[in-house]
Structure 1
Amino acid sequence: MTTETLDSVLLQTDFRDLELFASGKVRDVYQIGSDHLLFIATDRISAFDYVLATGIPHKGQVLTQISLFWFDFLKELVPNHLVTANVSQYPAEVRKYADQLRGRSMLVRRAEMFPVECVVRGYLSGSGWKEYNASGSVCGIKLPAGLRESEQLPEPIFTPATKATTGHDENISFEHMSQLVDPEDARMLRDLSLAIYKKAADYARQKGIIIADTKFEFGR
């Protein structure tokens, strides 16, 4: 069962015989056995850390296909949690919802999440621009004076944030991050995030797309 409008906007899932693990700003997650999760991208809109009342038809399907592309593109650089997005390969108790899951869901391996969001910025915009205007730095990283909004940075920078289940995420320094996770893990996450961003941004640039900044979440 799902909650949908006549325009096929999926705002909320309600698979009553599956165990709901979490419901985020955009995705609903169900527990499948002890080792797997079912990720479902709804059509909810999240802006500035708030979920809006209306959705966009098929937004979840678009998000899922983008995720699948990047998982495949980056798989030689970093492993991922994807098991399959082919609904016919899902467990039997899940396949009965195939019409609602096709194109917008993924079966993934469970992982222990690092409690931080790994943000990389190649351009000065959003909360980074606001912080730069106030202090001349972003997440403790001093930047050259006189930069303009949305200007490309000399080099991409790693600007982590706390991971909030509700409300606003908070930008933090790398030193603060190193107190939340093991310092060696913090360095590994920073270096990996920068490497992923650079590879993805280089590819996107060839297609006429600018990835101004992006966020990664890691587990193990």
Structure 2
Amino acid sequence: MPTVLSQSNLPGLDLIHRGKVRDVYALSSTELLIVATDRLSAFDVVLPDPIPGKGEMLCQISNFWFGKTAHLVPNHLTGKDVASVLPAGTDLASYAKRSVITKRLKPVPVEAIARGYLIGSGWKDYQASGSLCGIALPPGLRQAERLPEPMFTPSTKAAVGDHDENVSFAQVVDLVGREMAERVRDATLAIYRWAADYAAERGIIIADTKFEFGTDADGRLYVMDEMLTPDSSRFWPADRYQVGISPPSYDKQFVRDYLETLDWNKTAPGPRVPADVIAGTAAKYAEALQRLAGITLD
């Protein structure tokens, strides 16, 4: 059975960040331990109810994609055994499938988003302005329609409880410089195109996804944090895709759709989530993991 971990507790290790989902510990000046918990965030708010096994599924699918795309962009994984750094007395089973030892990188302060379809905040932006992150699009596009070409549509990286904000490429250039902005854009689109083709062969459309990047002391760019998970992507079953509606998905859109029925202003604290929505969300994550990576967590 998958383990349940809402918050890590590793006495003796230096906790440097507790994010919406991941807890990050410093192991040295060059390495981190990252633990994917079962916390669930929606609309940038951490909800009070965990999704059992979610962190394990996120970690395993990220590791799968990191391995598959390493020929395109290097990633933060070291390949070292997590058991070697856990404090004495720690229940290894609770951490083994949800934790990784990574390079300690300097984050690029941008959410690197690739969109292949017009959905979510991109659809709302287009309805209001006819453009997406300042990029003009052809008139008459419909919800969930495939874009003429995949687009790099970055956003600012929000702190816990704050909302990400879409920004233009020019704003990214102002923030990190043209060379870095172009490197992040090109890496984002290269990974997205490769992964979208891979997923399509397995009957899944990757509508959009977001990446995080970091650099080492030599300025080399790495993709880090998570990759192509149900938390960071929209996965649609190709056989149920239809232009003009928001397609069913293998991701936390299931929870978002429930939350949209509530009288909630999308600020903390988040509402409780019913057991059937929790179970349904876990099942969708598990199906995505199995269909994309061929991994089943017993």
Query: What TM-score comes out, normalization by structure 1 length?
Result: 0.92
What is the CA-CA distance between 1:110 and the residue it aligns to?
0.2
What is the CA-CA distance between 1:92 and the residue it aligns to?
5.9
Matched residue, 2:150 = 156
**3-state SS of 2:140 partner:** coil
In the alignment, the residues of structure 1 paired with residue 79 and residue 105 of structure 2 have an alpha-carbon distance, to the nearest angstrom, of 16
Q: Which runs of 5+ in 1 are unaligned?
A: 1-6
Pick the aligned partner of 2:4 from 4, 9, 18.
9
**3-state SS of 1:84 partner:** coil
In the alignment, the residues of structure 2 paired with residue 91 and residue 17 of structure 1 have an alpha-carbon distance, to the nearest angstrom, of 11
Q: 1:30 to 1:92 in 2, by over 3 A?
A: closer
Matched residue, 1:26 = 21
Say if 2:11 and 2:87, in contact at 8 Å, map to a contact too.
no
Matched residue, 1:145 = 139
Pick the aligned partner of 2:122 from 122, 125, 128.
128
Matched residue, 1:180 = 175
Matched residue, 2:85 = 91
Q: Which amino acid aligns with 1:207?
A: R
Q: Output aligned runs, 1:49-60, within 5 Å.
A: 49-60=44-55
Q: 1:99 to 1:8 in 2, by over 3 A?
A: closer
What is the CA-CA distance between 1:11 and the residue it aligns to?
0.9
1:168 aligns with 2:174: no
What is the CA-CA distance between 1:94 and the residue it aligns to?
7.0
In the alignment, the residues of structure 1 paired with residue 64 and residue 80 of structure 2 have an alpha-carbon distance, to the nearest angstrom, of 12
Higher relative contact order (CA 8 A, sep 6+): 2
Query: What TM-score comes out, normalization by structure 2 length?
Result: 0.69
Count of matched residue pairs = 213
Say if 2:10 and 2:87, in contact at 8 Å, map to a contact too.
no
What is the CA-CA distance between 1:96 and the residue it aligns to?
3.9
1:197 aligns with 2:192: yes
Say if 1:136 and 1:143, in contact at 8 Å, map to a contact too.
yes
Pick the aligned partner of 2:103 from 84, 92, 109.
109
In the alignment, the residues of structure 1 paired with residue 173 and residue 196 of structure 2 have an alpha-carbon distance, to the nearest angstrom, of 26
What is the CA-CA distance between 1:182 and the residue it aligns to?
1.3
Say if 1:85 and 1:105, in contact at 8 Å, map to a contact too.
no
Say if 2:113 and 2:155, in contact at 8 Å, map to a contact too.
yes
Say if 1:87 and 1:95, in contact at 8 Å, map to a contact too.
no
Q: 1:202 to 1:124 in 2, by over 3 A?
A: same
Matched residue, 2:40 = 45
What is the CA-CA distance between 1:16 and the residue it aligns to?
2.3
Q: Which amino acid aligns with 2:52?
A: P
How many percent identity over aligned positions? 54
What is the CA-CA distance between 1:85 and the residue it aligns to?
6.0
In the alignment, the residues of structure 1 paired with residue 86 and residue 133 of structure 2 have an alpha-carbon distance, to the nearest angstrom, of 47
What is the CA-CA distance between 1:155 and the residue it aligns to?
0.6
In the alignment, the residues of structure 2 paired with residue 146 and residue 210 of structure 1 have an alpha-carbon distance, to the nearest angstrom, of 22
Q: 1:178 to 1:13 in 2, by over 3 A?
A: same
Matched residue, 1:214 = 209
Q: 1:115 to 1:60 in 2, by over 3 A?
A: same
**3-state SS of 1:53 partner:** coil
Structure 1 window deviating more from structure 2 (113-122 vs 95-104): it is: 95-104
Q: Which amino acid aligns with 1:127?
A: S
Matched residue, 2:31 = 36
In the alignment, the residues of structure 1 paired with residue 86 and residue 6 of structure 2 have an alpha-carbon distance, to the nearest angstrom, of 24
What is the CA-CA distance between 1:142 and the residue it aligns to?
0.6
What is the CA-CA distance between 1:192 and the residue it aligns to?
1.3
Report Cα offsets for 1:26-45 as digits up to 9, x if no partner. 11111112211111000011
RMSD: 1.6
In the alignment, the residues of structure 1 paired with residue 88 and residue 149 of structure 2 have an alpha-carbon distance, to the nearest angstrom, of 45
What is the CA-CA distance between 1:196 and the residue it aligns to?
0.8
